[in-house]
Chains A and B, each alone.
Chain A
C-alpha cells in the first residue's frame, strides 16, 4: 500500500547546526504535513503545505512541497536543544467512497550532542 519514507531515521548533530530531512512517496500527495513529537507527548503540527513548489517557514523551520508532489523537505536552522524529538511527515490518501486517510512516516529522530 501507500507509504511515506522518511530519511534519515536518526540524526545526531551539534547545537547550532542546520538540519535537513525529507519524506518521499511513490504516490502523489496534495497536502504535506510536518509534525514534531516531544518525548512522552503527542505530535504537534509544525507546518502544512498545500501546493506543489510551496515553501513555508515557521520560525527556524522551513518546509517545501516538492514539485513532483511525491516528496517534501523540512529544514531546521541553527538547532537548539528543544529541537530534540521525532519529526513526522504525513499526508492524506484518497480512498474510494471514503474521506481521506492520513498516513504517517516512521519519523526522523533528532538528537543533539552535548
Chain B
C-alpha cells in the first residue's frame, strides 16, 4: 500500500548541472502536482499534470524548469543549469478522481531536498 513515492530524498548538485526529481503517485491516482518549499515558508504550487498532459503550469519558472508525466513511469521535474536559488524542498502530491469533492485532497510524498553548491 505504497503512498506517493519521491526519489531521491536528497540531491546535491553543483551550479550549472541538471537536477531530475521523480514522483510516483499513489496507486489509482492519475493527477500529480509539484510544489516547492523554501525554509520557513509554505508550499508554492508549481505545476499540475495528468498522464501525458500538463494541465496548469502557472507556478513554474519560465526558464530551466520543466515537468512531464508520461504514460508509463513516474512524473519527472527537471531543472536545468541549477543555481543556488533553486535549493529547496520539492514535494509531489497526487489526488484521486476529478469531479468529486475528494479531488481536492492531495496526498504528499516525503519530498526531495535539493542542495545546489
Contacts and interface: CB of A to CB of B under 8 A. Distances in A.
B43 A43 contact: yes
A30 B41 CA distance: 24
B106 interface: yes
Nearest to A109: B40
Interface of A: 31, 33, 35, 40-45, 48, 50, 88, 91-92, 95, 98-107
Given A31-B104, A95-B56, A41 B41 contact: no
B111 A107 contact: no
B34 interface: no
A102 B110 contact: no
Interface residues of B, number: 25
Name the 4 nearest CB pairs between A and B, nearest first: A42-B108, A106-B42, A104-B43, A104-B42
A105 B56 contact: no
B55 A106 contact: no
A106 B48 CA distance: 20
Contacts of B110: 40-42
A45 B109 contact: no
B105 A101 contact: no
B45 A102 contact: yes
B98 interface: yes
Interface string B25-52: 0000000010100000111010010000
Given A48-B105, A107-B42, A98 B111 contact: no
